[in-house]
Structure 1
Amino acid sequence: MKKILFLFVAISFITVSCTNNSKTNNAQEETTYKVDSTDATNDFYDNEVTHNLVGKDVEVLGEVANPGKVYFSKLPLRSVIIKEAELKDNNEIAFVGAYRYDGYSIYDILNERILQKANQEEFPPIVDLYVEISNDKGESVLLSWGELYYPANRYKIILATKVMHIVPSKSKDLWPLPTETKLIVGTDLITERNISNPTKIIVKSLDGKFKIQKNLKPLFSKDLKIYEQNNLIETLTQLPKNVKQETYSTVFYGRGRGIHSTSDFIGCELKNILKNNFKITKKNIQNGMFTVVGKDGYRAAYTFSEIMNRNDQAEVLLIDKNNYENAGRFSLFPSADFFSDRAIKALSEIHFKTIKH
């Protein structure tokens, strides 16, 4: 009788525990994705139903010591709100829709992958790394390491597994919803890098060869040469007089040395220097890569899109005067970056090419 009573109590306890766990899980899910259909909160981005997106397994490959499948259950869920637009055949911009996407940031996906740079002996810094993301349809896009790990505003690039309409309160427009998982680049104006159902994330380093001259003095470049597919197309000895100059106030802070200065940066938006030679096209947005190189051989990767196709007005400045260290001309200031590591000094070359494998 005691055994039967004990068994009954044990079963009752397990049943209650399972019920409580179930309620907790349901409560968490409702809290995360609860639809605020009456505008009870001040959040504009919780008013509609969230829809699941279907996708395939994703793997990390390339210049990492621990490649392999991505396990999303171990990663935090991130959200990005975005107005999507695409290029038509006549190069006009067409609005697609406004959405909240939930998913897993490429930042988190790659965070514990151990880098194994192909050019480690020649150039150890990580600022020349980039990522190629592709799907089974033959589409691929590029992201610079700087876009992923250097921005002051992190987690803007995600692999989305859920989507929600952002519906205008008056027009009630319901834009088409995707059905497959999707790469979302939250800083792009024209969102051609938002490809569906990504399956591969490949870490790579730039393959250009440039002479390293450490502690070069004076650190100064008399001109700036611009190349396309290894062909010299323009040489600048000063900033064009017809290009407007901008002043950016900043706290200039390095990952190694810390605070550099609080001086203003005055220069031209780099995109306004480059736009005559490099047009906004789907191919360039998806696969365009700039290699920016200093006189001393220091270089960094910038995608076409992060220079030419931003939606946040956090532009890259080109400066033709010496900086606070009495060095630099020409120099770059990437205003979206938290750290100064990609602010190339004595900039002497900019190389552009499209990369698609």
Structure 2
Amino acid sequence: MFKKIISIVFLIAVGCFFTVQAWADAQSVISITGEVKQPLYMNMEDLKKFDSACVRLNEVSKDKSFHGVFYFHGPSLQALLDLAGVRKEASAFSKLVDLAIVVRNKKGEQVVLSWGEVFYRNPGDIIVGIEATPIMPKKLGDPAFAQEIAPNMVDQLKRNVGLPTLVVANDFYTDRCIEEITNIEVVDLHLPIQGKKGESIFSPKVTVISGKGKSSELKKISSYPQTALFAKQVGEGKGFHGFNKYKGVSLSVLLEKAGIKPDLNSVIIASAPDGYRSLVSYGELFLSRAGAEIMLADTVDNQPLKKTGKFMLVLPNDLSADRTVKSVDKIEVITLKKEPRVYIISIGCSETKLITLEALSCLSKADAFVCSDELKNSLAGYIGDKPVLFNPIHSLEQIIHKPNPNLTQEEKEKLLKEQRAKEVQKVIAALNEGKTVAYLEYGDPGVFGSGRFLKDYISEDQIEIVPGISAFNVSNALLKRDPTCNGSLVITAPRGLKSNEPLVKAIADQGETLVIFMGLKELPTLVPFLQKYYAGTTPISLVYNAGYTEKEKIVRSTLQEVLKANEKESEKWLGLIYVGPCLN
């Protein structure tokens, strides 16, 4: 079923078909999510169907450690994002120049690129490498040079490269070239726009705001080391409109003087009073030699800037000038560092055909999982070899109670609490290590969800619930009735129902629909209880295995006949009970 989902997504979105076949890493999937028209989920075989670029990468990180020299082959990141269709869902600023692109790998590492450095540079500069070939020194086997070739260099050249790899060829230092990437997310920071389009944009000063909220003001930049450069002004709208000489201070120097510390997860937003803004990534500014030419200028063609404001952001190596910001009044450093959290993710009530795109996106961001064995297998492409902390099925109330029939209810509840407390410590330990945990939940996590106990141990700020399709939603579709025909509908479980008889009486008197979760096993005791308030001819429907295409079934009956009808069914757990006149 999972293979079918992926195929349908591609067929509808782009008119092409990518099969999802197993490869060395349990059908590992790379996803493209976030601000895109059509999220994509691809494995290595899918990536091979794109046109491939070849890039040589001399891997040396900023700490001067050597990691090998390789030829990488693979599709450009620009091509993949074009296929997904980068767009803004709802934004006061419609241009894409303030978008960030966050790339994550299976180790939980992430790096950030700007939209501009991907789309306003040549496509081959940034690729997703799916093949890596080491470039061995020609004199490696020559005994005369044996003493001059470091063993560590040879080890790095012979190492297994984790594919797919993000290859940022235009970076001098290769810290952003992370291996075994799993997720590419296009991020809109949704920053508020302070000014109004069309109003005077002249600003006499620039406010520099660090990631910690500290700020400083600049009214002149003459005291900073000055640099001059030429820039071609070619815009997306007006085309070529100038070749100018700019003078000012390198943005990297400006930020270093302001005490901004290096962070691969940081972005820099430069904005003008009218709301126009552009995003620059830390990596393109500090890891690339071209980053030194990104400038805050105060003169053009040897004249002070006037009409365009006192300061201008100039990016001379962009192939389009649309990231140029006139009359810069604010430069803000924002970190996109991933805060560890628990995603309680609905994967639907049954087969993976009911999983949402948001759920798939969050799966891609997780470093560890809590899930059943069934889900571990069906979502193997997303989970891969990431750790599964425990199986939550083992902590369900009925599973705990089954081998302990002689315990009192109080003793059973104590045993359940001890079991869950022990397991949740694994989640807390993962959070303390900076990992994001995905707790995979069937149905609606907010209605009788198995993960409800997490809030007793983990701060609400660290928990994010991802909604999904419940058995209730699927059952309503299968029934083809309006369960709210008399104005209301009540969802409950046997325990809550039996402890609140006045509620049951009120529901019956008003002819409202009663929906009972987890009630099939208790149907023999529920029916006589309900008959105290409902007539024997009251319609009742049992929906079995909602969402399981081959097994889902509806039994329509009445209160006085339903037990006989249910005896013929083998399923005694996965089902919903509907009671009320709206079922006619």
1:156 deviates by 1.2
When residues 229 and 343 of structure 1 are mapped into structure 2, their CA distance, relative to the original with a 3 A threshold, is same
Matched, 1:213 2:213: no
Residue in structure 2 matched with residue 194 of structure 1 by the alignment? 177
Q: Distance in 1 between matches of 2:82 and 2:97?
A: 15
Q: Distance in 2 between matches of 1:105 and 1:200?
A: 15
Matched, 1:80 2:63: no
Amino acid across the alignment from 2:54? S
Residue in structure 2 matched with residue 60 of structure 1 by the alignment? 32
Residue in structure 2 matched with residue 11 of structure 1 by the alignment? none
Q: Distance in 2 between matches of 1:119 and 1:240?
A: 40
Match 2:218 to one of 230, 236, 239: 236
Q: Distance in 2 between matches of 1:95 and 1:310?
A: 17
Amino acid across the alignment from 1:95? F
Q: Distance in 1 between matches of 2:98 and 2:332?
A: 13
Match 1:139 to one of 106, 109, 113: 109
Contact 2:39–2:84 under 8 Å retained in 1:
yes
Matched, 1:339 2:314: no
Residue in structure 2 matched with residue 160 of structure 1 by the alignment? 129
Which stretch has the larger CA shift, 303-312 or 162-171? 162-171
Q: Distance in 2 between matches of 1:248 and 1:314?
A: 11
Contact 2:204–2:309 under 8 Å retained in 1:
no
When residues 95 and 251 of structure 1 are mapped into structure 2, their CA distance, relative to the original with a 3 A threshold, is same
Q: Which has the higher contact order (CA 8 A, sep 6+)?
A: 1
Q: Distance in 2 between matches of 1:267 and 1:93?
A: 30
Which stretch has the larger CA shift, 163-172 or 99-108? 163-172
SS in 1 for 2:194: coil
Stretches (4+) displaced over 6 A: 52-55, 322-325
Q: Distance in 2 between matches of 1:235 and 1:83?
A: 40
Residue in structure 1 matched with residue 74 of structure 2 by the alignment? 103
Output one character per residue of 1:190-210: Cα deviation in whole Å (capped at 9) or x when no partner: 222111111111111122212
Tell me the percent identity: 26
When residues 295 and 59 of structure 1 are mapped into structure 2, their CA distance, relative to the original with a 3 A threshold, is same
When residues 199 and 222 of structure 1 are mapped into structure 2, their CA distance, relative to the original with a 3 A threshold, is same
Matched, 1:316 2:297: no
1:339 deviates by 0.7
SS in 2 for 1:347: coil
Contact 1:131–1:204 under 8 Å retained in 2:
yes
| TM-score, normalising length: structure 1 | 0.75
When residues 230 and 68 of structure 1 are mapped into structure 2, their CA distance, relative to the original with a 3 A threshold, is same
Q: Distance in 2 between matches of 1:254 and 1:162?
A: 35
How well do the aligned residues superpose, as a CA RMSD in angstroms?
2.4
Which stretch has the larger CA shift, 246-255 or 343-352? 246-255
Q: How many residues end up aligned between the 2 structures? A: 294
1:128 deviates by 1.1
SS in 2 for 1:225: strand
Residue in structure 2 matched with residue 270 of structure 1 by the alignment? 251
Contact 1:220–1:328 under 8 Å retained in 2:
yes
Contact 2:87–2:96 under 8 Å retained in 1:
no
Output one character per residue of 1:248-297: Cα deviation in whole Å (capped at 9) or x when no partner: 223211110112211212222111111131233xxx12x11111111211
Matched, 1:148 2:148: no
1:179 deviates by 2.6
1:337 deviates by 0.4
Higher-Rg member (1/2): 2
SS in 2 for 1:253: strand
Any gaps of 5 or more consecutive residues in structure 1? 1-51
When residues 236 and 337 of structure 1 are mapped into structure 2, their CA distance, relative to the original with a 3 A threshold, is same
Matched, 1:299 2:274: no
1:223 deviates by 0.8
Q: Distance in 2 between matches of 1:101 and 1:191?
A: 14
